[in-house]
Structure 1
Amino acid sequence: MSEALPDSAWSQALQRLRALARADEAWLAVLAAGVGMAAGCGVAAVNAITGLMHIYLFLLPQGGGISEAARLPPLRVLLVPAGGGLVLGVITAVLSRFRPRVPVDPIEANALYGGRMSLTDSIVVTVQTMLSNGVGASVGMEAGYAQFAAGLASKFGQALRLRRNDLRVLVGCGAAAAIGGAFNAPLCGAFYGIELIMGVYTMASLPYVVIAALAGTLTVQALGFGTPPLTVTLPQTIPDSAYVLILVLGVVCGLAGIVIMRGATLIEAGFRASGIPPWARPALAGLVVGALGCITPKAMSSGHSALHAYIDVNYPFFMVLGFFVIKALASAVSIGAGFRGGLFFASLFLGALLGKVFAGLLGVMPFMAHLPPGLFAVVGMSGLAASVVGGPMTMTFLALESTRSFTATMAVLAAAIASTLTTRRLFGYSFATWRFHLRGAPIRSGVDIGWVRALTVGRMMRSAPKIVQSEMSLADFRREVPAGALARVIVVDEQARYAGMIYPPEAAVATGEGRKVADLMHHQGRFLVPGMNVREALDTFEQVAADALAVVDDAEHMKVVGLVTEQHALRRYSEELDRRHREISGA
């Protein structure tokens, strides 16, 4: 009896909290703050573990980063990524036998599943990301941070049985807190949650996301893992003429982002076509990354420490260009071979290098000599990340919070918009949504379209009012279905398979002796199935030019199970669309 009491008390506490959260939005703010603090603790723990892995695996000094090191032990640089890749490959192969499904990403969860995620899958992804980054693969930690925090928020929200929109907001809060804490940039984290995870900006959700991002950032700072601001020389003012070149750099960043994303995809396709077992691919990629790391350690890990250490260092032009090519190749190979992680962190470092390359090309122009290369490094950093990640405001606030410079932020905003427009016009995807596209997931953002998939023909259909045989004579049909009794009747064949549809008014005026129902059938071979969603059903109505269609169990058995009218489908679609709009607006 004593053992049952804690469970009963816990259940009662959950019920009270659930009731409060559903009745008063102030309690949703409390939940957002709690999620933010939990996310901050997760970020600190992940940073501590990966930092220790870097120190002990690569013999770094305490607090040192792989990519900022002048040189690393060559044997370890070669063997650690390859060995770590082998371990990751084997673990992934074993897990795929027991958990074959693909883990749901926070963007995918909010777009298709109403914010529902598996915490177990999220922990698996986080551990895989930590292992990948810890052994030096050229991947970022943002995937692990956001996945864990969003998964934790989703689990908490599901336990409280939050409404669909509230659960989606809480998932956005988790991701926002994780990114805000990782970069010591709460505004960046908040807009990451809004632009990428939720896909829509509303005043109804903004306060909770900002609260979570602030809580996550402050928690990381309190635990001693806050990221310092960038130390970079920036101008006090930027001449108007320079904005033309800043916009050009934004376009260049957009083009470079497309090349990097395409490159990662092509390398992944090459690995699949090579016949190399999936478990061995990360090991081979680890050897490649290790070889590039022997040339320069900047090729390894996320590049976050190198960004902070070298953003204001002026290297020779061809050296910076070499760093950019090597880092881009290492990132594409790491992602393409199956190392877990993202390109957010790596794209920041790559963008800074690209900005310096751009500044080097402009160095011969006298009227640009007074602008420091650091400005172009910051602009390139945010511009390339905006192309890859897909959040121009996220990157603009990251630049503001990292540099504390409003002047540079204006330039960053211009370049980020130019980069984003270039990427959307020529490519159409960010890196995350591009990978969703390759998997066949019909999403380009975290905007909620899951309700469309949930509103199926099976939910909308009604029972068929009347079913007749195709061989029935028209005379018998007229006696059984008088004119005006029904608008339409479904027709089946001798095996009770769907054959078509007949309209009683048309049958009432048809002439000719010995004619059968089959002679007046319409929509043969045109039908709906229960699994179709409402948009697919409406498209079918438009193609067939019908105001109603029969629903059959499947295309093989063709057993009639119901009827759906176009008017009813349109009304249900409009009702659900209006409900989602009211949820978004907070009405």
Structure 2
Amino acid sequence: MRPARRMQIRLKPLLARLAAVPRRVTRLSELRLFARRSELGLVFAGIVVGLTSGLAVIAMSFVSLQLHRTIFGIGEYERLSSSDLKGEIATFIAPIVGGILLGLIMLMLASWRKKPMLDPIEANALHGGRLSLTDSIIVAVQNLVSNGFGASVGLEAGYTQLASGIASKLGIKLELRRGDLRILLGCGAAGAIAAAFNAPLTGAFYAFELIIGTYTIVSLTPVVVSALVANLVTRLLWGDSFTIDIGSFGEVVPADYLPAIVLGALAAGVGILVMKGVSLTEELARRSAIAAPLRPPIGGLVVGALATLSPQVLSGGHGALHLNLSHDTPVMMLVALFVMKVVATAVSIGSGFRGGLFFASLFMGALLGKLYASLIVLIVGHETLTPVIYAVVGMSALAVAIIGGPLTMTFLALEITGDFPITALVLAAVLTSSLVVRTTFGYSFATWRFHLRGESIRSAHDVGWIRNLTVGRMMRPDVRTISSKATLAELKAEFPLGSAQRAIVVDETNRYGGVILVPEVYASPVETGQDDAGIGRFIRNANDFLQPAMNARQAAALFDKSGSDALAVVNNLIERRVVGLLTESHTLRRYSEELDRRRREASGEI
């Protein structure tokens, strides 16, 4: 066979592959256009995210259960926190070993991942839904190590982090707009919570209240569909293992609302104490001379010691919750268990273990509700509600105080009980709890941690765009300057009437010295022979200036304070070298344009 013929035969498969590339690119482009331009496309993306969220929850749950069975030797159908491990050496050793592993992971990350890892709330509030999938996988692994070795944290943080990271990655691949990407990230969190609690409505409203920060008609369908799909996937592949079974309960009458409201206020106070306790533990750990990688083993030592007294403090508390809901526990034991769980949770998170407080707050709230039921009996002399109902009210109210999301926790109560009168009672309690926390403390657990880090965000509302609308982006860099030593004649020669509105004054070291309004100089009467006079009397705003990192809102406040319609922009407070000029009218116009754009995105107009 001739060489040319052989070359042609060899080239045929390559040419066929090259010919298929444009078709694949076209299909990908069409898929992106479908997702960007069609609300139905966003719904289909939500379905994919719901599927991946359900699988992520199943995978993490499977790994966690295998770790519990391997490390603690529990049975196939046992839960760690409800198993009979009292006195077992594993309950003491395992959290310490988990802390050592987590410390080693911290050491590796210290040289590899320098920037802080975002969570879904922060990603949606500040970064338009952009969340690193690599960071999300790392957080999920850290959460599995923490939970798998018995630290008193739940897997919900890992569930939502991993599912949201996958959703964000998909949205970035589809090149979604900022608003749609935020919605898709919310779909991931909705699917994770829906799958974790067998509660699709809870998952959907978790996304609306805590991850997206608002509810719109555009976001309703993809978020709810994602939650439903994730829930269906977990029920088909995992069964009803995530369902919270509260057993039998009594009836609710109008007289029960007052005790429930009081319980809501009490839960708010306890929630604030828990959040303060966690932050205090973290602060003590930071102030100590103990290196960060050594803190988890020390925290594991405390958790292990508490677990030798009662294994119910281990892990998130799924088994312990069911155990205490289905059994009558003595009051003193409830008090001891509540205190130990609070301490174990605060020490776990404060020492560096990764995990969430969602399920831990439900468990602590259920204990608080049962304690409150016993207190009511002592005061009134008889039961007004069954302890189980008080437990449901307590778990919802305390979860609202710590996690936030009053509708989220109300729907969780509805999906757990299937009873509307109890749901109405829970609603009264969670609204009370939420109101007390907002007016006295002002933060949920996530936003409180942001506050401690110096962030000002209070929710997942999109404030990242205002931070991106900086003075450096809006200013004009072509600034005309004049020396502070110049005379009026030199000023008029450099700035003829009509050539410029303002002259920026700088000294001999090129430091900012103020602004001169050129028309004002020409309008001012000048006596004969006074052109050689200095320009000092026309200088204004010598101490009023902007910096490139300021956002539009900060710039507008400074315009209002100075009374000037234009300000110079300097590089920093030390050098004060002029780098630009920004007018108030341009700032307000750009701010209004961005506000209108966000409004149209929220309403689905773009």
Q: Which residue pairs with 1:563 in the alignment?
A: 581
Q: Distance in 1 between matches of 2:237 and 2:86?
A: 29
Change in CA separation of 1:305 and 1:485 when aligned onto 2, cut-off 3 Å: same
Q: Which residue pairs with 2:221 in the alignment?
A: 207
Q: Distance in 2 between matches of 1:281 and 1:30?
A: 44
Q: Which residue pairs with 1:529 in the alignment?
A: 547
**Match of residue 249, structure 2, among 234, 237, 250:** 234
The worse-fitting range, judged by mean Cα deviation, of 514-523 and 154-163 is 514-523
Q: Which residue pairs with 1:35 in the alignment?
A: 49
Q: Which residue pairs with 1:167 in the alignment?
A: 181
**1:296-333 superposed Cα distances (whole Å, 9 cap, x missing partner):** 11111000122123213221111111110011110000
| Correspondences of 1:465-504 after superposition (within 5 Å) | 466-483=480-497, 485-504=499-518
**1:361-397 superposed Cα distances (whole Å, 9 cap, x missing partner):** 1112447524211110000000000010011111011
| TM superposition shift of 1:4 | 6.4
**Match of residue 136, structure 1, among 138, 150, 155:** 150
Q: Distance in 1 between matches of 2:574 and 2:287?
A: 35
Contact preservation (8 Å) 1:177, 1:213: yes
| Correspondences of 1:132-531 after superposition (within 5 Å) | 132-226=146-240, 227-236=242-251, 238-366=252-380, 368-464=382-478, 466-483=480-497, 485-508=499-522, 509-511=524-526, 513=530, 514-531=532-549
Q: Distance in 1 between matches of 2:167 and 2:220?
A: 16
| TM superposition shift of 1:553 | 2.8
**1:330-350 superposed Cα distances (whole Å, 9 cap, x missing partner):** 000000000000111100000
Q: Distance in 2 between matches of 1:438 and 1:366?
A: 42
**1:25-77 superposed Cα distances (whole Å, 9 cap, x missing partner):** 10110110110000000000011010011111111010211111133452101
| TM superposition shift of 1:484 | 5.3
**1:457-501 superposed Cα distances (whole Å, 9 cap, x missing partner):** 122112446322222211332354345554322122233332211
Stretches of structure 1 that go unaligned for 5 or more consecutive residues are none
**Structure 1 letter corresponding to 2:247:** V
Contact preservation (8 Å) 1:464, 1:490: no
- Percent identity of paired positions between Structure 1 and Structure 2: 47
**1:549-586 superposed Cα distances (whole Å, 9 cap, x missing partner):** 01223333333222111111011111101111111122
**Structure 1 letter corresponding to 2:109:** L
Stretches of structure 2 that go unaligned for 5 or more consecutive residues are 1-13
Q: Distance in 2 between matches of 1:452 and 1:436?
A: 18
Q: Which has the larger radius of gyration?
A: 2
Contact preservation (8 Å) 1:188, 1:398: yes
| TM superposition shift of 1:292 | 0.7
Q: Distance in 2 between matches of 1:8 and 1:295?
A: 66
**Structure 2 letter corresponding to 1:358:** Y
Contact preservation (8 Å) 2:476, 2:581: yes
Q: Distance in 2 between matches of 1:584 and 1:66?
A: 44
Q: Distance in 2 between matches of 1:225 and 1:545?
A: 66
**Structure 2 letter corresponding to 1:299:** V
| TM superposition shift of 1:202 | 1.3
Q: What SS does structure 2 have at the residue aligned with 1:525?
A: coil
Contact preservation (8 Å) 2:497, 2:519: yes
Contact preservation (8 Å) 2:325, 2:391: yes
| TM superposition shift of 1:510 | 5.0
**Match of residue 85, structure 1, among 78, 96, 99:** 99
Contact preservation (8 Å) 1:469, 1:517: no
The worse-fitting range, judged by mean Cα deviation, of 528-537 and 324-333 is 528-537
Q: Distance in 1 between matches of 2:572 and 2:248?
A: 66
Contact preservation (8 Å) 1:348, 1:385: yes
**Structure 1 letter corresponding to 2:554:** E
**1:482-524 superposed Cα distances (whole Å, 9 cap, x missing partner):** 4555432212223333221111233231546342123321111
Change in CA separation of 1:291 and 1:94 when aligned onto 2, cut-off 3 Å: same
Q: What SS does structure 2 have at the residue aligned with 1:139?
A: coil
**Structure 2 letter corresponding to 1:41:** L
How many residues are paired up?
586
Q: Which residue pairs with 1:553 in the alignment?
A: 571
Contact preservation (8 Å) 2:85, 2:91: no
Q: Distance in 1 between matches of 2:20 and 2:284?
A: 55
**1:443-462 superposed Cα distances (whole Å, 9 cap, x missing partner):** 11110001001111122112
**Structure 2 letter corresponding to 1:541:** F
Q: Which residue pairs with 1:126 in the alignment?
A: 140
Change in CA separation of 1:252 and 1:465 when aligned onto 2, cut-off 3 Å: same
Contact preservation (8 Å) 1:234, 1:408: no
| TM superposition shift of 1:189 | 0.1
Q: Distance in 2 between matches of 1:451 and 1:551?
A: 21
Q: Which residue pairs with 2:6 in the alignment?
A: none
- Please say if 1:584 is aligned against 2:584: no
**Structure 2 letter corresponding to 1:87:** L
Contact preservation (8 Å) 2:331, 2:374: yes
Q: What SS does structure 2 have at the residue aligned with 1:572?
A: helix
Contact preservation (8 Å) 2:39, 2:218: no
Contact preservation (8 Å) 1:233, 1:372: no
Q: What SS does structure 2 have at the residue aligned with 1:104?
A: coil
Q: Distance in 1 between matches of 2:178 and 2:408?
A: 25
Contact preservation (8 Å) 1:348, 1:384: yes
- Please say if 1:74 is aligned against 2:88: yes
**1:6-39 superposed Cα distances (whole Å, 9 cap, x missing partner):** 8766544322210111121101101101100000
Q: What SS does structure 1 have at the residue aligned with 2:66?
A: helix
Q: Distance in 1 between matches of 2:98 and 2:19?
A: 46
**Structure 1 letter corresponding to 2:72:** F
Q: Distance in 1 between matches of 2:88 and 2:140?
A: 28
Contact preservation (8 Å) 1:109, 1:116: yes
Q: Distance in 2 between matches of 1:273 and 1:450?
A: 31
| TM superposition shift of 1:219 | 0.7
Contact preservation (8 Å) 1:246, 1:411: yes
The worse-fitting range, judged by mean Cα deviation, of 555-564 and 171-180 is 555-564
| TM superposition shift of 1:168 | 0.3
Contact preservation (8 Å) 2:187, 2:223: yes
Q: Distance in 2 between matches of 1:339 and 1:3?
A: 49
Q: Distance in 1 between matches of 2:303 and 2:525?
A: 78
**Structure 1 letter corresponding to 2:583:** T
**Match of residue 51, structure 1, among 65, 80, 103:** 65
